């Protein structure tokens, strides 16, 4: 019998999360298509490890951006972000065993768009990007068998600085010109502080938590 997808789970990044039983009726395991049972996993452990990966990524990227802004201004920072972000994501993926990336509905790089599966979870983050002052999160499972994964989206709320320099509502002409040259289909501007600018996606093989 077909089951509807579980409702997204929202929680502060470092706060304990509720058990998988909240996603499923008490005492019942999900039966994905094909009839195989989903193994129970420790969602708190998933959220804790995902938070550490996301924070490491963002901390490393922000450090490079701040240094670039101080050294060469916004134009230099754009180049650093373009090159450094995928390198940091690849390093975090290799170190953690997860697939780490940034995604957004209004994306700068089309490769960072949303899949249909992500959209309801991303929409929930957009309703409240911060929960008790911390980035909101959504968790869900996807796939079956050896391909089954557990996925965590962590909100990236728009910050006044340094984000507004390249993502805000009042870009300088040189920044706007460079963004158009690098990303002709750029949609990642015009954000106000507090809005959901994007999200970190940390996707794990379920077997890592069984």
What are the E-state strand segments in 75-195? Answer: 99-103, 130-131, 134-142, 149-157
Confidence of residue 37 (pLDDT cuts 50, 70, 90): low
Dump pLDDT digits (tens) for 99-142.
999 999 999 999 999 999 999 999 999 999 999 999 999 999 99
Share of the chain above pLDDT 70, in %: 82
- Say how many C-beta atoms besides its own lie within 10 A of residue 123's C-beta: 14
Dump pLDDT digits (tens) for 53-81.
999 999 999 999 999 999 989 999 998 88
Q: Cα separations (Å) of 111 from 6, 58, 102, 104, 131? A: 27, 19, 10, 10, 28
Dump pLDDT digits (tens) for 147-174.
999 999 999 999 877 788 899 999 999 9
């Amino acid at each position: 019998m077909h089951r509807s997808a579980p409702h997204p789970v929202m929680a502060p990044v470092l706060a304990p999360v509720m058990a998988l039983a909240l996603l499923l009726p008490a005492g019942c395991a999900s039966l994905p298509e094909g009839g195989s049972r989903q193994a129970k996993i420790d969602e708190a452990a998933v959220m804790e490890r995902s938070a550490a990966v996301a924070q490491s990524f963002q901390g490393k990227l922000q450090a490079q951006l701040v240094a670039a802004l101080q050294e060469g201004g916004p134009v230099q920072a754009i180049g650093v972000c373009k090159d450094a972000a995928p390198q940091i994501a690849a390093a975090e993926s290799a170190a953690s065993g997860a697939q780490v990336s940034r995604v957004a509905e209004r994306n700068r790089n089309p490769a960072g768009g949303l899949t249909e599966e992500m959209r309801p979870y991303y929409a929930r983050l957009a309703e409240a990007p911060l929960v008790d002052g911390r980035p909101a999160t959504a968790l869900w499972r996807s796939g079956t068998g050896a391909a089954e994964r557990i996925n965590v989206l962590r909100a990236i709320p728009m910050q006044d600085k340094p984000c507004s320099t390249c993502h805000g509502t009042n870009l300088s002409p040189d920044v706007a010109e460079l963004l158009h040259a690098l990303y002709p289909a750029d949609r990642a501007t015009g954000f106000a502080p507090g809005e959901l600018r994007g999200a970190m996606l940390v996707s794990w093989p379920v077997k890592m938590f069984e």
